[in-house]
């Protein structure tokens, strides 16, 4: 049992390091006037920063309960430096807010994959507490990803207007609808299992059956 707890503690520690890493740019953006002045991006940054901070506290408690330890100080220092460099680069961008949210989306997608792995590991080890923690955190970021996806069209148009680009503001609703349609199409796709056990999308199957099927 001790080996199981040690292994699970390692996974929790790794996820804690990821959360501490992504929280750095979240906080930087939350306190940045360009983000806070955005009526769309500002509230989102406040929410995802609060989520990450809560996740960090919860993961630390779980790690303590398992008798584990946080990542090595050198590793933590490296991730903080990387976060600082990333935030410095962000300040030089023209469409800074939209690209910042895009990067936040990428960071949270990484977190959702990590929590999916932690959830599965905890289930495999029959640790209900850690499994429930991973599921809650996964749900938090899944909701945040949907929120950012829906907000990006408005933020992109805001950014373009800030640099005096001629834009049609009416495209916000159109773009949001198209993005939602894309997600609904993805949700409606029916995966299939091949004889080799590989999961393929309908598009992949169509390309196999019809050589003229369009590809990207």
User: With 80 as the cut, is the pLDDT of residue 78 above it?
Assistant: no
What is the enclosing helix (H) or strand (E) of 137?
helix 128-162
DSSP, collapsed to helix, strand or coil, labels residue 45 as: helix
Return d(Cα 89, Cα 37) in angstroms, integer.
20
Chosen domain end from 169, 184, 202: 169
Query: In the prediction, which pLDDT does 194 show?
Result: 43
Q: Please indicate, yes or no, whether residues 97 and 126 belong to a single structural domain of this protein.
A: yes
Q: State the total domains in the chain.
A: 2
User: With 50 as the cut, is the pLDDT of residue 57 above it?
Assistant: yes
Cβ–Cβ < 8 Å for 186, 139 = no
Q: Please indicate, yes or no, whether residues 159 and 188 belong to a single structural domain of this protein.
A: no
Summary mean pLDDT of the chain: 81
Q: Please indicate, yes or no, whether residues 65 and 36 belong to a single structural domain of this protein.
A: yes
Query: In the prediction, which pLDDT does 168 show?
Result: 84
pLDDT digits (tens, 9 = 90+) for 11-35: 999 999 999 999 999 999 999 998 9
Return d(Cα 47, Cα 24) in angstroms, integer.
14
Beta-carbon neighbour count of residue 124 at 10 Å?
A: 12
Q: Please indicate, yes or no, whether residues 41 and 127 belong to a single structural domain of this protein.
A: yes
For residues 113, 38, 158, 187, the Cα torsion angle rounded to the nearest 10 degrees is 30
- State CA 172 to chain mean position distance: 23
User: With 80 as the cut, is the pLDDT of residue 3 above it?
Assistant: yes
The whole domain housing 140 covers: 2-169
Q: Please indicate, yes or no, whether residues 177 and 165 belong to a single structural domain of this protein.
A: no
Residue 161 — pLDDT band, cuts 50, 70, 90? confident
- Nearest CA to 66 among 74, 55, 58, 76? 58
Q: Please indicate, yes or no, whether residues 108 and 138 belong to a single structural domain of this protein.
A: yes
Return d(Cα 216, Cα 209) in angstroms, integer.
17
The percentage of the chain sitting over the pLDDT mark of 70, rounded to a whole number, equals 73
The encoded tokens of residue 51 equal 């989520």
Q: Please indicate, yes or no, whether residues 165 and 178 belong to a single structural domain of this protein.
A: no
Q: Please indicate, yes or no, whether residues 178 and 126 belong to a single structural domain of this protein.
A: no
Q: Please indicate, yes or no, whether residues 133 and 214 belong to a single structural domain of this protein.
A: no
User: With 60 as the cut, is the pLDDT of residue 213 above it?
Assistant: no
- CATH number for the domain that contains residue 131: 1.20.1260.10
Q: Please indicate, yes or no, whether residues 161 and 179 belong to a single structural domain of this protein.
A: no
Section 79-95 average pLDDT: 52
Most confident of 2-11, 68-77, 79-88, 205-214: 2-11
> Which residue is listed with tokens 């503690």?
9
Query: In the prediction, which pLDDT does 196 show?
Result: 43
Query: In the prediction, which pLDDT does 142 show?
Result: 94
Q: Please indicate, yes or no, whether residues 206 and 157 belong to a single structural domain of this protein.
A: no
Query: In the prediction, which pLDDT does 90 show?
Result: 52
Q: Please indicate, yes or no, whether residues 214 and 119 belong to a single structural domain of this protein.
A: no
Return d(Cα 155, Cα 15) in angstroms, integer.
30
Section 25-50 average pLDDT: 93
Query: In the prediction, which pLDDT does 50 show?
Result: 96
- Nearest CA to 20 among 111, 98, 106? 111
């Amino acid at each position: 049992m001790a080996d199981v707890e040690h292994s699970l503690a390692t996974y929790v520690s790794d996820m804690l390091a990821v959360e501490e890493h992504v929280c750095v740019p979240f906080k930087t953006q939350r306190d940045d006037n360009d983000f806070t002045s955005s009526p769309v991006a500002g509230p989102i940054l406040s929410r995802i920063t609060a989520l990450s901070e809560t996740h960090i506290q919860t993961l630390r408690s779980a790690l303590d309960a398992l008798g584990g330890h946080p990542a090595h100080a050198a590793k933590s220092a490296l991730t903080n430096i990387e976060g600082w460099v990333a935030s410095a680069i962000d300040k030089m961008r023209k469409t800074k807010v939209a690209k910042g949210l895009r990067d936040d989306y990428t960071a949270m997608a990484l977190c959702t994959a990590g929590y999916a792995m932690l959830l599965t590991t905890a289930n495999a080890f029959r640790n209900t507490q850690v499994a429930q923690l991973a599921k809650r955190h996964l749900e938090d970021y899944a909701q945040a990803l949907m929120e950012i996806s829906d907000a990006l069209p408005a933020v992109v148009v805001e950014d373009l207007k800030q640099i005096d680009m001629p834009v049609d503001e009416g495209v916000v609703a159109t773009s949001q609808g198209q993005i939602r349609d894309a997600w609904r199409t993805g949700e409606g796709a029916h995966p299939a299992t091949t004889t080799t056990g590989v999961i393929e999308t309908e598009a992949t199957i169509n390309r196999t059956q019809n050589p003229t099927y369009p590809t990207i």
